[in-house]
Structures are given as structure tokens and as C-alpha cells.
Amino acid sequence: MSENVVIVISCGTDNPNRSTRGIHLATVAHKAGKNVTVFLLDDAVYLAKEGLLDYLRAATGDIADDLMTYLQAKGVPILVCTPCAKARRISEDDLIEGARLAPASELIQAACDDAAVISL
């Protein structure tokens, strides 16, 4: 069984249930002792923009900001698709602590490193 988990999230504030669920799954995987990487693409890049998670929550009551704060505190890599961010005028300076711009090749490498990949 793989110890590496890659969570790929493609929806952002437009779909709070799916985007918060992705962050929740990353948190659950980390708490289970897995090596987790979060990759944000398409509109999910907004999730890494400073201040945008403050009011995002799922219908289940899960609060995206609380979950992301956990991931940040634990040093879970939060990779933000470079061309997706640039197309939305998000720069490295706009990102939350622990997030960084990353090319698609890093997603592919993480997925090839004997990882379970969950896409939302």
C-alpha cells in the first residue's frame, strides 16, 4: 500500500463542498500518517490566495481555513499550478504560507512516486 497521497483539486470558491472536501481528505490522509501533497489547478488556485479561505465551508460544516491551517502547520506541500495561477493574475506573493507555484511536471512526478491520487 502506498504511503504517498496526492490530492488534486480543480474547483475553488465556486464549489465550496468539493474544494473543502479535497482539503479535508488531505488532512485525513496526513493524520493517518501518509505523505501528502496537495496540487491546486484551474479555479482551485484561488484556495491558495491569501484571505480567500476565511469564509469557505462545506455543507458538512467543515471549514476550509481550519483544515488548510492544519496542513500548513504540518508542512504539507501545497503546490499551485503555475499557468493556472498566472492566467488568474495570482503571483507567488499572493499565496498563503507554505504554498508555492509549481509546474505540471511536479504533479506528474508526485503521482509517479508510488502515490495514490485523489482528484476532485
Mean pLDDT of the chain: 93
Find the CATH number of the domain harbouring 86. Answer: 3.40.1260.10
Task: Kindly report, residue by residue over 41-71, the tens digit of the pLDDT.
Answer: 999 999 999 988 888 889 999 999 999 999 9
pLDDT of residue 7: 95
For residue 66, being part of any structural domain is answered with yes
Q: Which domain holds residue 24?
A: 14-119
For residue 91, being part of any structural domain is answered with yes
| pTM score, whole prediction | 0.94
Task: Give a three-class secondary structure readout of 86-112.
Answer: HHCCCCHHHECCCEEEECHHHHHHHHH
- Split into its structural domains, the chain has a count of 1
For residue 75, being part of any structural domain is answered with yes
For residue 8, being part of any structural domain is answered with no
